[in-house]
Amino acid sequence: GAGVSQSPSNKVTEKGKDVELRCDPISGHTALYWYRQSLGQGLEFLIYFQGNSAPDKSGLPSDRFSAERTGGSVSTLTIQRTQQEDSAVYLCASSLIKAQSGNTIYFGEGSWLTVV
Amino acid sequence: AQSVTQLGSHVSVSEGALVLLRCNYSSSVPPYLFWYVQYPNQGLQLLLKYTSAATLVKGINGFEAEFKKSETSFHLTKPSAHMSDAAEYFCAVSQTGANNLFFGTGTRLTVIP
């Protein structure tokens, strides 16, 4: 597709359930990022993938959070045993190469997660 | 370490008035600086970026920003606000060796008719 695609756009889940959020980056982009945006907060970096390299997981808030990227393209962010504080917008982004060279990062429209 | 501070979580301007959104950065090496805009229920869209070329950067929708190293600032301006400019604006910084962008907490711009 033309842009970063995320699904679902909205998800309401019960506390304690697992959720999976999907991201389809822009074709040809080797770098993929997940960010979390909580109400009234800025964007919090979660995880970064670059090609076949080991991902940078330094932003994951707990071991309930994990992500994978299959075939260097589609990525799935999984949150296990969801808690109410996990309620947020989860934004996926991609870029041609990583951000360090000032490359533009393109964002999807986000997956709005509500844990009740 | 690098970080971004956006002064003013909410800014209101009258339609046609100057827009000034403030951003100060902290970086140990020359940074790359970005402004993104987020319209309601949408993702982030790049407005403009500074990558060590011209210090005055022009972006989309009439916005521009000036990189001032002595002030460690990258303030966003627009001469005349339009109702369609109402949105949340994020300043972000990255630098060589970093894997991602570091974002400020955002400034919500309201345009009063």
Give residue-wise pLDDT tens across range B17-60: 999 999 999 877 778 899 999 998 888 999 999 987 788 999 99
Residue A99 DSSP SS3: helix
The band of B84, judged by pLDDT with boundaries at 50, 70 and 90, is very high
- Contacting A with CB below 8 Å, chain B residues are 9, 32, 34, 36, 41-46, 49-52, 90, 92, 94-106
pLDDT at res. A96? 85
Q: What is the DSSP string of B84-98?
A: GG-EEEEEEEE-TT-
Q: Which of A98, A104, A107 lies at the smallest CB-CB distance from B49? A: A104
Nearest to B8 by CA among B85, B91, B66, B69: B91
Q: Do A43 and B45 touch (CB under 8 A)?
A: no
> How many separate helices (H) and strands (E) can be counted in chain B?
0, 12
Of A33, A100, A104, Cβ closest to residue B96:
A100
pLDDT of res. A100: 59
Task: Please indicate whether, in this complex, the C-beta atoms of A4 and B43 are within 8 angstroms of each other.
Answer: yes
For residue range A55-109, what is the model confidence (pLDDT) as tens digits? 999 999 999 999 999 887 899 999 999 999 999 999 999 988 765 567 788 999 9
